Structure 1
């Protein structure tokens, strides 16, 4: 049995070349790519890595809790890892991003990439360029032309205006300019409305229907997240009404139970769970199976960081439609560039003509640039078997600590 002997957590803040203004947080100029990085080390020296996006240091106390739940665990027992994360969620902490680190370990022990461990073959994955900011129609056309010259044959726009006509004008301009050469999709970012800095538009079913109709007339490939993520009845009605696919599902932290219900109700035509948020790799595999059984499409959300992209790339290899499906490729220069997105990886996920060759390295397929991690990361938690034992003795007393240890061993 390969057990967890040590856990480390880092907070990474990688500076952007220029402020990035994400459409989903109006009024917020993001100046850094921030995420928390997890390193799991087994007793035989295998390392597993994963990362979860962060606004700041909101996970400052996670290390103490995580060490209690994970130190000494069989690192390859994914079901038990899922159970421990479920137990942690009872305290209000949903940290599905932790689970992929254990798949990283399991696949490294097998000497294969995660997707091969799950029965998929290698090859190339087709990508779509996923923009991140709201821009003027002319600026968006210039952006689409730039992505086309780079080899992309599909692009996703962001609309987030209080004025419906302003949203539509952007789509019309891009379709007129590149619609005969590129697939054009639209993301309304209505599933999880954020007003922490400035107010944000809030669509209702009527507006979503009008916009879906207009997009259908323009030949848009799909419309993403046009309604709140828990508006289940309205989403199902919109999907029935729409002449183009309705897509979503990226941040449903309820995981498999919620997404299963949404698949059964056919809330979307395209389901886009991001394993970092929606239950980890194990739960996403079941979502893929359910989508296939229901005749619905799966293609994951990937807009987090280079490690989150790697996790969902593995799942796209397993469950995506290689012939017609497209994987999200976050890119929004000059701010959100590939080097900034992939920050502390030795080799960024660089596309070739709008396609990406699946990695052949064991595990999740990346290596950490430790020099970059030292420069841009701060370790805020570190615990091993000995420190956990000492802490238990100090807090509980020797006799009680022995009792706890005996119960764990049994």
Structure 2
């Protein structure tokens, strides 16, 4: 039986070609994208990768815990992986983002893409272009026209104004402008408040109902996260009231138990958990299965780096929902381009007229560009069953590479 014999952790960042102002972080203006990576490998050399969004060194101290939890274990025992992640969460962080690396190994050992290992048969999945910024009416029209010209027939826009009349005018204008050529969804980013850089409005049930009425009149596809993520009763009341589907669920870190409860309460019509936050591949797929049994919609969230997109795409392709609901394709030029999103991947995950063809190689299809990683990232922790190395705290790339080189020469 193969066992985990290597754990490596990396921090990487990439320049954005233009400033990016994420709608969910008011007042923020990004010039870089950052991510953490985990690489695990078995004693016979089969490796698995996963990656998570990063701000800086907030996860610099997680190496020993991960090494203690997983070195010497069976990488195909996903139940044990979940048990150990829950144990690590007692230290204050839920590391669901590392779970897909074990699926990557498991798929490679089975000789199958992960979605096929999970029973999926959809080799292509329907996409929606997911914008990440609040924009003015003219700029939003231009963006929608550009995505339509590229083959997308669904786009998700963002609203986040203090004045609800401004938000309503935005959705009405874009729906009128596209005249049925493209379906429009909208993300209100009310499920959680990111107020580190600027204050943000808080919608109550009354405002959410008025917005849902306007969205229904505009013929929108769905309204995403119009209420705070823990207001279960208000969410259920809104979903029961609304004539347009209400969607959400990306950041519920308790995973399947919480999302099952929310599905039973009918908090949303379309559930959108993300494997990186909401329980890994295993639990997010369980959410999809439960949604099917309850007559609810399902389409995982995937905004973030290119690894998160690929990982959640495998869930979508295995869920049976791939032709019923579109899957999120993070794309918001000129700042959030495909090249920036997939900066450390050997090849970007390109769409084909609004569809994505699933990777057919065993595992998750994550191929790291090692030259790009060496240039843009640093390995800050490396452990085997015999030895461990904490790299210099400065996260200086040249220092890290010298440390790794010295170890390799021993």
- Give the TM-score of the pair, scaled to structure 1: 0.94
Does the C-alpha gap of structure 1 residues 197 and 339 become closer, same or farther in structure 2, counting only changes over 3 Å?
same
1:96-145 Cα shifts (integer Å, max 9, x gaps):
00100000000000111000101111421111100000000111001000
Structure 1 spans left out of the alignment, 5+ residues: 390-410
What residue in structure 1 maps to residue 315 of structure 2?
Answer: 315
| Structure-1 residue corresponding to 2:399 | none
Deviations 1:273-330 (A, max 9, x none): 0011000011112111111111101101000110000110000001142333100101
Shift of 1:179: 3.5
Q: Deviations over 1:148-204 (max 9, x none)?
A: 000000100100000111111111111111141000001000001111010011100
Counterpart in 1 of 2:258?
258
Distance in structure 1 (CA, Å) of the matches to 2:363 and 2:13: 25
Residue of structure 1 in register with 2:170 after alignment? 170
Partner of 1:150: 150
| Aligned length, in residue pairs | 389
How much has 1:70 moved relative to structure 2? 0.9
Partner of 2:329: 329
The aligned counterpart of 1:397 is none
Give the RMSD, CA atoms, in angstroms.
Answer: 1.0
Structure 1 distance, partners of 2:168, 2:214, is: 8
1:119-268 maps to which residues of 2 (within 5 A)?
119-268=119-268
Show the counterpart of 1:31. Answer: 31
Q: Quick one: distance in 2 between partners of 1:247 and 1:310?
A: 21
Task: Return the alpha-carbon distance in structure 2 between the equivalents of residues 29 and 112 of structure 1.
Answer: 41
Residue in structure 2 matched with residue 11 of structure 1 by the alignment: 11
For residue 31 of structure 1, give the secondary structure of its aligned residue in structure 2: strand
Distance in 2 between residues matched to 1:333 and 1:254, nearest whole Å? 33
Structure 2: state its 5+ residue gaps: 390-410
| 3-state SS of paired residue (2:386) | helix
**Cα distance in structure 2, aligned partners of 1:69 and 1:345:** 27
For 2:340, the equivalent position in structure 1 comes to 340
Q: Deviations over 1:248-282 (max 9, x none)?
A: 00011111111111011010000000011000011
Residue 40 of structure 1 contacts residue 47 of structure 1 at CA under 8 Å; is this kept in 2?
Answer: yes
1:93 deviates by 1.3
- What TM-score do you get using the length of structure 2 for normalisation? 0.94
Q: Return the alpha-carbon distance in structure 1 between the equivalents of residues 107 and 114 of structure 2.
A: 5
Which contiguous aligned blocks of 4+ residues in structure 1 show a shift greater than 3 angstroms? none
